[in-house]
Structure 1
């Protein structure tokens, strides 16, 4: 396949690749949006304004990296609920010329002085989910920097001008963003700066209402002109530290200045005849790969992807993989994470043997081993280079603490640490917590797909469902992303959230197997956005 065609075939979220032959007639298909094809590159995000910003960068000769940074900066403005420069970032980059994959882990670490003993002395029995003690060092700005230093073409400062424009002149708040904003109103009221910035006039901006954030425009100007040093050592760093100090936080100038994102080697497995890639721990992409390994032990159900047999195997494989990830995942710089064992086909066979084809397992334990809210977007440039990238605050508005005078919230990713010192995910200074945000990539011959699906711990199982839809049922990417899905908000039990687009007969059959199903409306946000 030529480089031009691989631009399309390599593209991910929401859009389809030329390499696939749809099995459903175009006049009678089961998905809504049409397949999009172009030889000039595509930017797919959850906001039209961000996609346009990235597309303009491609038109100006920018690389996939340039377009992604511009789009992500706009998303920081237009989706402050989900992401921002106070959060973390992970990326997988496929170089079309060399065929090599690169991984970047730009997740931040805990402040050096934020320890289990300190929190227990304050009376904590579990990690705080909000507030200053849930805050870790943000990694996104250093992540942007490292990507741009390696593959950027356009001047750094130019990439932030669209975000500055929307922050100063305002953007119309979308329907979904308004709903999330309103859902976190009480949290925003707990912090005076959050209330001032994100509740203008004392209320959540309405759907279609213009929202302006001149403070975040100022922060972006500083980054555009002075680079990442403005964030980790300069004026923004001072504002972060002042905000933390006033709330009794532990972050220091050294915690910020010493931080650096890490280049990592993607981990992978084969599913049928496709190669599927995720990033290694501290993220939970390994759960998606283990789930696929287990699913591979069963043939695709001839009754279709939404039959009770296929869904039962997917659900049970998910439980087994998630049990392992909860027991063994963590920061590999602080302990050995058994990636090789968890991803071995032999181990998957043992786990698959535990699946009862007729009954749901409601008490799943991790396997025995020998002596580990968000925005996703994807960019393909005209050379066929693919960037699969994800960025997040974790919860809506993160810690619910906004940096004074800078207009962005600090993430609460520290809430995912454990206070159990025996856990591989135990809190420690300069340690990275277990992470839920995961970009992904898959390839078969000359077909290359960068993909991702948002939604916290929903992500690995959503990835596995997407891969199966493409590989087992020959869906194009549009159909695979829009297909009905299930998720597990309890984790490891039998309570499963499933979309009402699954037939009533299938739901009845799964219920008889012991699955406790909560049927949600079509295209529920519980499934995570793609």
Structure 2
């Protein structure tokens, strides 16, 4: 019996790469990418487009992010020739008591991270898993600093998307089906996403009527945030209603947590690589691990091939393994199951002036805590799962602490080329961003070549996950030092991270998304559609 899958061996998948002198938005959802591109067409800055895209993608991909999300952003300001980092990650509530998360002693947790299992999975699912969200405050701060268009105008497309409701096509139905059992435990999540406790009827090609989610309550909440500003979620009635809902379901989130929250600007984590420079978000993110990976790579592979080959991929694996060993030891990151489901969303923007935004935002798990705030219509995060429930560790669970994130939005520059990359996919993110940055900086690949080039995933531990289209000599070389699993690059579940990126070479901008993403698109401001 041959060790092959049932997938077609004769089918190829490629993404069209947009190339233009105008602005481009690359996002995991085509609708959100069009929203951002329309803002660029109206004369908006890359930051304006990012605000509009962020809110829109939180509506059309509600299981990945939204107003209750957290994350990080990298910016490039062309006029100042400067990279700026923005951390809008989540925090644990100040009333959180680690004693309320006792260990079962029965093994490892059931979700992304192999923590010791907590009774009733209280750190994974339900209101007790909810952390203080940060994305909306981050967007408000970056808009205040760099935005040109009115805040309310930028939120209007997301409001319209929510009023219409997200279409439940085959892909949305597949994602909902993957989490149906957990969603059924929360009556409000079940009411929003399920039909009679089951996954919803698909809007198939034979259907005459569309099936859409009822996101009207979310639309009302977004209207209040549009009218009153980003701090409405923290100081206003929307935040108060969200807190009341979470506390009614047993969570520790408080008004004081929201009122005290502030996203933070930082100097970028900037470092030299191969005659160019990389810029990432410092602190409790994937940024330091990206730096460690590329530093290791430059030491292990001083002589480059003309194209990625066996020695390059073995260098990628060794560099990533060393970088993750450093991350595990210093940051308290536990590793992740190679079969963990994808989550999070990423988009990148470049405008006509060359300003760039690379934004990653997440609920953490797919569908977050699987809890919906009925008063606001927001699906809530499960950021508490980022903490180690075992006391005395570098990242142990505690009150009023910043969450350790895997997100790794990055900006790179070499010669006349600048790019903004990032990805979704939890632990897989750094592997993708590091390799794709290397494809550009080491092998002079354009965006199309970098996004279609096969990758590996090495997220610490003994296993290397390798794209099955890699040549046999690459697989053989990797197998000498690692346990290698060959897998296809598929639509679901993702064995690799799901990247989105933009590039500027001279005055020419381009954009692309993960080739297997059925919703992902890069859209030029000259190619916007009437919605």
TM, length-normalised to structure 1: 0.81
**Given the superposition, is the C-alpha separation of residues 447 and 121 from structure 1 closer, same or farther in structure 2, using an over 3 Å criterion?**
closer
Structure 1 segments of 4+ aligned residues over 6 angstroms from their partners: 121-124
Give the equivalent residue in structure 1 for 2:326: 324
Question: Does structure 1 conserve the Cα–Cα contact (< 8 Å) formed by 2:360 and 2:423?
Answer: no
Matches within 5 A, 1:144-159: 144-159=139-154
Shift of 1:308: 2.7
**Candidates 27, 38, 41, aligned match of 2:23:** 41
Shift of 1:280: 0.7
> Does residue 517 of the first structure (1) align with residue 487 of the second (2)?
no
Secondary structure, in 3 states, of the residue corresponding to 2:345? strand
**Given the superposition, is the C-alpha separation of residues 177 and 271 from structure 1 closer, same or farther in structure 2, using an over 3 Å criterion?**
farther
Give the equivalent residue in structure 2 for 1:527: 496
Q: Structure 1 unaligned segments of length 5 or more: list them.
A: 1-29, 332-372
> Does residue 104 of the first structure (1) align with residue 86 of the second (2)?
yes
> Does residue 304 of the first structure (1) align with residue 304 of the second (2)?
no
Q: Structure 2 unaligned segments of length 5 or more: list them.
A: 1-11, 106-115, 205-209, 334-342, 500-531
Give the equivalent residue in structure 2 for 1:14: none
- Aligned-residue Cα RMSD (Å) equals 2.3
CA–CA distance in structure 2, aligned partners of residues 111 and 122 of structure 1 = 23
Question: Does structure 2 conserve the Cα–Cα contact (< 8 Å) formed by 1:269 and 1:293?
Answer: no
Structure number having the greater strand percentage:
2
Give the equivalent residue in structure 2 for 1:280: 282
CA–CA distance in structure 1, aligned partners of residues 489 and 256 of structure 2 = 48
Give the equivalent residue in structure 2 for 1:347: none
Give the equivalent residue in structure 1 for 2:49: 67
Give the equivalent residue in structure 2 for 1:77: 59
> Does residue 495 of the first structure (1) align with residue 463 of the second (2)?
yes
Question: Does structure 1 conserve the Cα–Cα contact (< 8 Å) formed by 2:85 and 2:268?
Answer: yes
Secondary structure, in 3 states, of the residue corresponding to 1:143? helix
Question: Does structure 1 conserve the Cα–Cα contact (< 8 Å) formed by 2:306 and 2:443?
Answer: no
Question: Does structure 1 conserve the Cα–Cα contact (< 8 Å) formed by 2:165 and 2:216?
Answer: no
Q: Which deviations, in whole Å up to 9, do the C-alpha atoms of 1:217-256 show, x marking residues without a partner? A: 1111111111123211222222222222222221211111
Question: Does structure 1 conserve the Cα–Cα contact (< 8 Å) formed by 2:311 and 2:477?
Answer: no
Matches within 5 A, 1:51-62: 51-62=33-44
Shift of 1:330: 6.9
**Given the superposition, is the C-alpha separation of residues 523 and 485 from structure 1 closer, same or farther in structure 2, using an over 3 Å criterion?**
farther
CA–CA distance in structure 1, aligned partners of residues 420 and 478 of structure 2 = 32
Matches within 5 A, 1:393-412: 393-412=363-382
CA–CA distance in structure 2, aligned partners of residues 463 and 129 of structure 1 = 27
Question: Does structure 1 conserve the Cα–Cα contact (< 8 Å) formed by 2:94 and 2:400?
Answer: yes
TM, length-normalised to structure 2: 0.81
> Does residue 507 of the first structure (1) align with residue 475 of the second (2)?
yes
CA–CA distance in structure 2, aligned partners of residues 319 and 204 of structure 1 = 39
Question: Does structure 2 conserve the Cα–Cα contact (< 8 Å) formed by 1:269 and 1:276?
Answer: yes
Question: Does structure 2 conserve the Cα–Cα contact (< 8 Å) formed by 1:108 and 1:259?
Answer: no
How many residues align structurally? 456
Secondary structure, in 3 states, of the residue corresponding to 1:472? helix
**Given the superposition, is the C-alpha separation of residues 180 and 150 from structure 1 closer, same or farther in structure 2, using an over 3 Å criterion?**
same
